[in-house]
Amino acid sequence: MDLAKNRDVAASDTVPATAKDSAPEAVSGAERPTPLLDVRDVSVEFPTAGRDWVTSVQNVSFQLMPGESMALVGESGSGKTVTSLAVMGLTEATGGRLSSGSVTFDGNELTGRPAKEWRKVRGPGMGMIFQQPIRSLNPAYTVGDQIAESVRKHLGLSRRQAEAKSVEMLEMVQIPRAAERAKEYPHAFSGGMCQRVMIAMVMACNPRLLIADEPTTALDVTVQETILDLLRDVQQQTGVALLFISHDLAVVAEICQRVAVMYAGEVIESAPAVDLFFRPQHPYSSGLLASIPRPGLSVDRRLRTIPGGIPAPGTWPAGCRFAPRCEFAQSGRCDTTHPPLDVVSTGGLSRCLRADELALDGVVT
Amino acid sequence: MSLLEVKDVTKSFSTKRDFLGRRIGWTHAVKGVSFTLDAGECLAVVGESGAGKSTVGRIALRLIEPDSGSITFDGVDVRAARAQELRALRQRMQMIFQDPHSSLDPRMTIGDAVAEPLLVHTDRSRTERERQSAALLERVGLGSRYLGRYPAELSGGQLQRVAIARALALNPAMIVCDEPVAALDVSVRAQVLNLLRELQEDLGLAYLFVCHDLALVEVIADRVLVMAAGEVVEEGTVEQIFAAPQQEYTQRLLSAIPVPLPRDAMGNRITSIGERA
Ligand SMILES: Nc1ncnc2c1ncn2[C@@H]1O[C@H](COP(=O)(O)OP(=O)(O)OP(=O)(O)O)[C@@H](O)[C@H]1O
Ligand SMILES: Nc1ncnc2c1ncn2[C@@H]1O[C@H](COP(=O)(O)OP(=O)(O)O)[C@@H](O)[C@H]1O
Ligand code: SF4
Ligand SMILES: [Mg+2]
Ligand SMILES: [Mg+2]
């Protein structure tokens, strides 16, 4: 049965760029326009009880072009949220510190500035939505007032203008009877509707980058679908760039052009979505693709799994961090050498010593 | 005879009260729902949020009293059961919840949590209970080294394994699983689902599997009950529901399953890498 809603096409029809041109990491900066967001070698540490500081995220780099949508994918605890909070300048607010790296937004270096100034420099240009939208909304104020308050603060609109803007934004995120619903309190909204309100609130300030941290994980599948459609519409209408954080590659496929996969605090593969899905270059990415349930395609009604679990910060293996779970691991090699994030034959980046010798399975079609 | 027989159950919750505290507004969470579950079978209950799935699961265990209707488990009238009888029934019907963090006591070691049902329902000695909880942890793929650990030290997937071990402690005939993998990552989800299937086959368990994601249902269920706004709108075998869904609502649930194929700039799905490879 064909569950796809759109006409199916082959990549070659519509994606003119070769993998090499579309992987910005593989090309020197001079040939490309300035990225909107440039994250370089970011490492984040947190204090722990016995030992002093433990690294949670290590040397993470990626770039996002204006209007582009990129996913950060990985298991719970892989460092996705810590990375996105570092981009927002919220590391210190969560008790951590940036032990290396820099974040440049729209040509402005943010690193090294105190949190308050960081926020001022990035301004309303960066907005973020979270997994639990209800927790980001204040239960004591109407939804309309909260959006109005935010635009008054960031855009300096008058009260009346701000009210009009908040209704306009609620309409944009397709909340029916927006003018009436603006007068309601958050508890009167379902999870999906709260997420729409959050998107309205963040988009009201015309950001150039929207960071969405697992925005659909708490929603049921039908609502998830509508939120993904909405994010796609919003991107098309406003040209906002999207950093989409998720553990689910099936969801990422719906919305992202490029994917960076994280494992144990580092990026282990980075490639255009087409490449990552059809010819992954790291055994972990391949395993993630295989574990997605696909109606009609499972063998003997068993899901393929990656054995074991992700190591916690402070317990990362010395060699390849994925080696204990990797079916292709070679002892004496994978357990001793920490693989660098290297350009591989597809033009993307992989942190696997054997990337070029393995023929890994992509998604089943 | 079926293991569980639910007939025409109905449940309303009051949502509003007037100034005297009298109930004035009602949500009809479950309306005239009937189904059967055989021993060793897995029946999935699917539907959108608020459809009444969890309420049905809780009614089956009599964790919620229905307003009307009947529930028979293994020939026993569950609604008529008195405290003593209900205790005996509860040993044979267990439940696993979505959020493993909140279903386990943070101050209790994993070993004690798994052994607790044995302490409450049996007169086994302490050493016997410890031996058994070690065996149960082994059975769910965790191993006895987790016995002395606390919930905070475990990942979501590990905690859900603990919840499963705990549910297995009294050799139940049926487990109501309420979104047991919804809070887990895709890869961990696959591990836990496979474990649930393996246990079902080995131990002949029956599952009432509450789930909003039909992609998972295909792997685990034998039959499917589709609920919308408190009512059953469609019922069938997994094969029927997937190959020929009768209701538009069911079709909508099916088409909402995200497909892991990326889209091109026009939003069309890419199905092969074509000549680029
Ligand atoms: N204790 C309660 N008090 C009041 N209303 C309730 C209660 N429990 C459930 N409801 C209402 O009953 C309806 C069905 O709820 P239920 O939790 O069974 O849905 P569900 O299908 O499990 O949804 P979800 O996928 O969100 O878990 C909803 O409208 C819900 O708000
Ligand atoms: N405030 C904090 N204090 C200490 N450790 C933290 C903090 N926030 C995150 N971590 C740790 O950093 C690691 C990565 O976490 P996170 O980025 O939240 O993962 P995820 O990929 O699930 O978003 C985890 O091991 C987590 O425990
Ligand atoms: S480096 Fe070795 S262990 Fe690591 S992913 Fe590659 S093959 Fe597996
Ligand atoms: Mg996170
Ligand atoms: Mg529920």
Model pLDDT, residue A27:
45
Q: What is the pLDDT of residue A255?
A: 93
The residues near B55 (Cβ < 8 Å, ≥ 6 apart) are B11, B29, B30, B64
Asked whether the beta carbons of residue B256 and residue A225 sit closer than 8 angstroms, the reply is yes
Q: What is the pLDDT of residue A51?
A: 66
What pLDDT band is residue A13 in, cutting at 50, 70 and 90?
very low
Q: What is the pLDDT of residues A292-339, one digit of tens each?
A: 998 888 777 788 899 998 999 999 999 999 999 999 999 999 999 999
Residue A36 near chain B (CB below 8 Å): no
CATH node for A1-125+207-365: 3.40.50.300
- How buried is residue B15: exposed, middle or buried, by Cβ count under 10 Å (0-12/13-18/19+)? exposed
**β-pairing verdict for A342-343 and A349-350:** antiparallel
For chain A, the farthest-separated pair of C-alpha atoms sits apart, in whole angstroms, at 69
Residue type at position B36: T
Contact A294/B188, CB-based, under 8 Å? no
Say whether A349 sits in a helix, a strand or coil.
Answer: strand
Torsion sign (Cα): B154, B159, B162, B166: positive
3-class DSSP state of B201: helix
Are A295 and B264 inside 8 Å of each other by CB? no
Q: Which atom of ligand 3 is nearest to the CA of A323?
A: 3
**Directed axis angle between helix A159-172 and helix A191-203, to 10°?**
130
Confidence bin at A133 (pLDDT 50/70/90): confident
Written as one string, the DSSP assignment of A216-274 is TTTS-HHHHHHHHHHHHHHHHHH--EEEEEES-HHHHHHH-SEEEEEETTEEEEEEEHH
Q: Are A24 and A93 in contact (CB under 8 A)?
A: no
Closest Cα to atom 5, ligand 3: which residue? A352
DSSP B152-170: GGS-HHHHHHHHHHHHHTT
Chain B CB within 8 Å of residue A251 CB: yes
Q: Are the beta carbons of B262 and A253 separated by less than 8 Å?
A: yes
Task: Give every residue of chain B whose pLDDT is below 70, as ranges.
Answer: 15-17, 23-24, 274-277
A48 reaches B (C-beta below 8 A): no
Binning pLDDT at 50, 70 and 90, where does residue A277 land? very high
For A280-294, b/e burial (b = at least 16 CB within 10 A) is bbbbbbbbbbbbbbb
Q: Residue ranges of the domains in chain A?
A: 1-125+207-365
Does residue B254 belong to the interface with chain A, where contact is any CB pair within 8 Å? yes
Interface test with B, best of A219, A263, A278, A289 (most B CBs within 10 A): A278
Interface confidence (ipTM) of the complex: 0.87
State the pTM of this model. Answer: 0.89
CA distance B62 to chain A (A): 26
* Cα-Cα end-to-end distance for chain A: 12
Is the pLDDT confidence value at A353 over 60? Answer: yes
Cβ atoms within 10 Å of B258's Cβ, excluding its own: 22
- State the angle between helix axes of B110-121 and B156-168 in degrees (0 to 180), rounded to the nearest 10: 20
Q: What is the pLDDT of residue B222?
A: 96
- Give the tens place of pLDDT for each residue, A16-64: 333 334 444 444 445 568 899 999 999 999 998 776 899 999 999 999 9
Largest Cα–Cα distance in chain B? 73
Nearest CA to ligand 1 atom 4: B13
Pocket of ligand 2 from Cβ distances under 6 Å: A 46, 56, 74, 76-82, 94-96, 312-313
* Token code pair at residue B266: 């026009």
pLDDT at B16: 67
Which residue carries 């959050």 as its tokens? A198
Contacts of B268 in chain A (CB under 8 A): 6-9, 14
Mean model confidence pLDDT for chain A: 88
Cα separation, A202 vs A194, in Å, equals 12
Residue A1 confidence (pLDDT) above 50: no
Pairing assessment for the beta strands A241-246 and B76-77 based on DSSP bridges: unpaired
Name the phi and psi angles at B41, rounded to 5.
-100, 155
Q: What does the pLDDT read at residue A122?
A: 79
Among candidates B146, B262, B96, which has minimal Cα distance to A249? B262
Mean pLDDT of all residues in A195-208? 93
Least Cα distance to A322 among A280, A292, A362, A271 occurs for A280
Read off the pLDDT of residues A108-129 as tens digits, 9 standing for 90 and up.
999 888 878 887 877 789 999 9
Touching check for A331 and chain B: CB below 8 Å? Answer: no
The model's confidence at residue A230, banded by pLDDT at 50, 70 and 90, is very high
- Which residues have CB under 8 Å from A132's CB, separation 6+? A218
DSSP SS3 for A43 = strand
Q: Interior CA angle at A284 toward A279 and A289, to 5°?
A: 60
Q: Residue A255: CB within 6 Å of ligand 3?
A: no
